[in-house]
Amino acid sequence: MESGCPPEQIPESPSLDELLRLGVEHLTAFNYLIVLDNLDTLSDPDQELLLHLIVQLCASSKTKALLTARRNLGATTTIVTDLSGLTKEDFAKFVNDKCQHLKLSIDASVLQQTVPALYDASNGSPLFALSILRLVSLGDSIKEAIANWKGADGEAVRKAAFQREIGRLKGNEARVFLVLSYLERGSVDEIAVILKLNRYEVQTSLETLQGFSMTTTESALPGGAIFQIPSTLALVSDLLEARVRLIPLSQVQL
């Protein structure tokens, strides 16, 4: 970030407090907007530390900040805005734009009929939709591309997208998520019976998974809420199985 601070003003081995003081001093001179996209590329402690530092900087200067992350990182609800994925209408526009950009010769009527299937296969994810369209650019029909992406052809993209998130899961969190990847939907009681855990252990794990935007609550029935995961995540069960095998016994509550 450039704020006009001369390099000579920065100590050779500055402390965090010194850097914050310099940051506030130079950010106060003008109105700045700091944009930090995709905080998920950092470890959880680093994400939380960065949010804390940005809040400090903004509170002490004229600066505004925009951060994007899957979790709220403990921030108050007054500074957090939950954003959903693309609507189906916006997704259709995105697909049309990318088809033009990739110079794909897909008949307009065929594309219009296929967009709902493309939306379902990618869960509305622009990253996944683009990876499917790239298969079209390599010679697949749009229907073949969707089918192939769900198999081995999409494995590398799915792995790259979810490896970090899955790597964060500990103990029962990974085990609960793995069960949901098999079931796709289930209640707290069902998961508890399968894993031989008590309800509190399952609920605590589901709370963490919801914080990572990995699960959603489908409905609240007399027997309790039904939890589910997107069909895209169900395709990465092999990553989850590997993660569960690597978890030390000390992280698993038996």
Query: Same domain for 246 and 172?
Result: yes
Q: Range of 56's domain?
A: 7-79
- Is the pLDDT at 249 greater than 60? The verdict is no
Q: How many domains does the chain have?
A: 3
> Dihedral sign, CA of 82, 85, 89, 90?
positive
Query: Same domain for 172 and 233?
Result: yes
pTM of the model: 0.62
Q: What CATH number is attached to the domain comprising 208?
A: 1.10.10.10
Query: Same domain for 173 and 244?
Result: yes
Q: How far is CA 221 from CA 23, 187, 213, 227, in A?
A: 51, 10, 22, 11
Query: Same domain for 202 and 241?
Result: yes
Q: What does the pLDDT look like over 179-224, one tens digit per residue? A: 998 888 899 999 999 999 999 999 999 988 887 777 888 765 565 7
